[in-house]
Amino acid sequence: MRITVVGSINLDLVAAAPHLPAPGETVTGATLGRYPGGKGANQAYAAEKLGAEVSLIGRVGDDAMAGEALALMADLGVDLSGVETDLAAPTGVALIAVDPTGENQIVVAAGANHLVTPEQLPQRIEAALIVQLELPIATVEAAVGRATGFVCANLAPAAPVSEMLLRRADLIVVNETEAAFYGDGLHRGGGRVVVTKGAKGAALYQRGVEMAWAAPPSVEAVDATGAGDAFVAAITVALLEGMEPGEALRFACAAGAVSVTRPGAQPSAPERAEVLALLAG
């Protein structure tokens, strides 16, 4: 199973705090962690851990943070030949605050991610494709337009996209906030649409009709960062393997549940055996 991910690459600076700050509030007593992140990189790493052969296309800066951001993917064997180094812009950084229940607040400084252009893409993308919206929209839409196979579009963070992308995607994944932003436009194409609802579960729709629903297994949450990316990777892998929609949705919910039990986006990505064990448990 071959998957190409066109997406963002960040270094996540995560402060685990007693509580999340209100506007203007300073919260002390936090501990700091540094983890590879970025939606594109997270999804590439998670898909590789779940059994896919993954290539990542993206951009980093010519700085020390680039090595940290790429380290786990390189160790795992993700193909990074499509990752270019920008001599002018820094590697993207996400500043993340996490409270003891796993809830978070995230601010992203995109850096080199905003300089990924259509010229960096191959003329044809023959593997299955996963995209998100942390790169320039023109680049994301160019990738979708050049794809010849299965396309998963994780429309996050929410932003206006073309009718072509909405109709071309075989699978669209959004959370409740993003689903409200796009409205009925999500369902105008013939592809499947998944709306995730955190600990409440996820629903899969076809042409606006709910076809499947799944709730995640109960776990003790530590950090929700990266859980949505683990979900996207897992449901893509499951559907490409031929799982029926309900089974694929349960598999993805379990992958997201494993992810929230430990800190960091990529370090929390589950092994396939962990997902299956949680489903069996």
Q: Would residue 28 count as lying in a domain?
A: no
Closest CA to 31 of 96, 128, 124: 96
Whole-angstrom distance, CA of residue 228 vs CA of residue 196: 8
Q: Would residue 22 count as lying in a domain?
A: no
In the structure, what pLDDT confidence band is assigned to residue 188 with cuts at 50, 70 and 90? confident
Residue 99 a catalytic site member: no
Residue 270 β-bridge partners: none
Report in angstroms the alpha-carbon separations of 165 from 128, 129, 173, 174, 188: 15, 12, 13, 14, 11
**Can you give the pLDDT at residue 167?**
95
Q: Would residue 265 count as lying in a domain?
A: yes
In the structure, what pLDDT confidence band is assigned to residue 223 with cuts at 50, 70 and 90? confident
Closest CA to 266 of 113, 44, 37, 40: 37
Residue 54 has pLDDT above 90, yes or no: yes
Q: Would residue 30 count as lying in a domain?
A: no
- Report the percent of the chain where pLDDT is more than 90: 92
Q: Would residue 104 count as lying in a domain?
A: no
Domain that holds residue 212: 2-9+38-91+113-280
In the structure, what pLDDT confidence band is assigned to residue 210 with cuts at 50, 70 and 90? very high
Indicate the number of domains in the chain. Answer: 1
180 burial class (0-12, 13-18, 19+ CB within 10 angstroms)? exposed
Whole-angstrom distance, CA of residue 272 vs CA of residue 159: 32
Residue 143 is inside which H or E element, if any?
helix 137-146
User: Cβ of 81: how many Cβ atoms within 10 Å?
Assistant: 8
Closest CA to 50 of 222, 200, 229: 229
Q: Would residue 82 count as lying in a domain?
A: yes
Question: What's the average model confidence in pLDDT over 64-75?
Answer: 97
Task: Please report, for the domain that includes residue 137, its CATH number.
Answer: 3.40.1190.20
Q: Would residue 135 count as lying in a domain?
A: yes
64-76 and 39-49 helices, crossing angle to 10° = 20
Q: Of 12, 99, 223, 229, which one is the catalytic site residue?
A: 229
pLDDT in tens, 12-34: 999 999 999 999 999 999 999 99
